A and B are shown apart, each in its own frame.
Chain A
Amino acid sequence: DAGVTQSPTHLIKTRGQQVTLRCSPKSGHDTVSWYQQALGQGPQFIFQYYEEEERQRGNFPDRFSGHQFPNYSSELNVNALLLGDSALYLCASSFNRGQGNTIYFGEGSWLTVV
């Protein structure tokens, strides 16, 4: 049973460019959340997708957008990259009707903006 998988693992982008990160949730999970973790901080909630729609959103600008596909996988898109977008991006997978302890994370995608 595969856990949460994310790609790519590492990437370097230039300021102003756009990036797409991908996530496949754990088998049986239907909800995908994205988090940004800057150095020395805890993960910060970006948004959550369920039934192919954005259900909740954290305090992130519209440059951050996402998508969920019918197979529950998800993408995170960031436009007009800034140096401050350099961080670890984490995908969390859960079951909508699950208990609070069924939230699993992928290994993350390290984004460096230069």
Chain B
Amino acid sequence: DQQVKQNSPSLSVQEGRISILNCDYTNSMFDYFLWYKKYPAEGPTFLISISSIKDKNEDGRFTVFLNKSAKHLSLHIVPSQPGDSAVYFCAAREYGNKLVFGAGTILRVKS
């Protein structure tokens, strides 16, 4: 049973435009949601997170939105840059800092 789902395996965006990556979850007990960026042959790099009691968190070009009623969150990257091309993972935190990950979305930003 997949508790965290990223339904888009890939996304292609033009440089300068907005990238929107989506994530759905099923477990209402998750208390934090995190986004990680991963390049091939590297470990995941933390990008941004949001508490389950918030509906928006912003950090520079990155904004995460949380819709608890829909059990849906999204990561917005504005403006998108070629260096943003990577795999993006959505993760949800359970008790004790255990993370449940989605399968990832490959973002390609074209210049």
A interface residues (Cβ-Cβ under 8 A, vs B): 4, 6, 31, 33, 35, 40-45, 48, 50, 55-56, 58, 90, 92, 94, 96, 98-101, 103-108, 110
Please report the total number of B residues contacting A with Cβ < 8 Å: 27
Q: Tell me, rounded to whole Å, the shortest Cβ–Cβ distance linking A52 to chain B.
A: 15
Nearest CB in chain B to that of A57: its residue: B98
User: Contact partner of B96 among A6, A50, A101, A106, CB < 8 A?
Assistant: A50
- List the A side residues contacting B43 at CB < 8 Å: 4, 6, 90, 105-108
Closest to B106 in A: A40
Asked, given contacts A41-B103, A43-B89, whether A100 binds B98 with beta carbons under 8 Å apart, the answer is no
Could you pull out 21 A-B pairs where Cβ atoms are within 8 angstroms?
A31-B97, A33-B99, A42-B89, A42-B101, A42-B103, A45-B99, A45-B100, A48-B97, A50-B96, A94-B97, A96-B97, A99-B32, A99-B51, A100-B31, A100-B49, A100-B51, A101-B46, A104-B46, A105-B44, A108-B42, A110-B41
Are A55 and B42 also in contact (CB < 8 A) when A41-B103, A101-B32 are? no
Are B44 and A100 within 8 A (Cβ)? no
Nearest chain-A residue to B36 (Cβ)?
A105
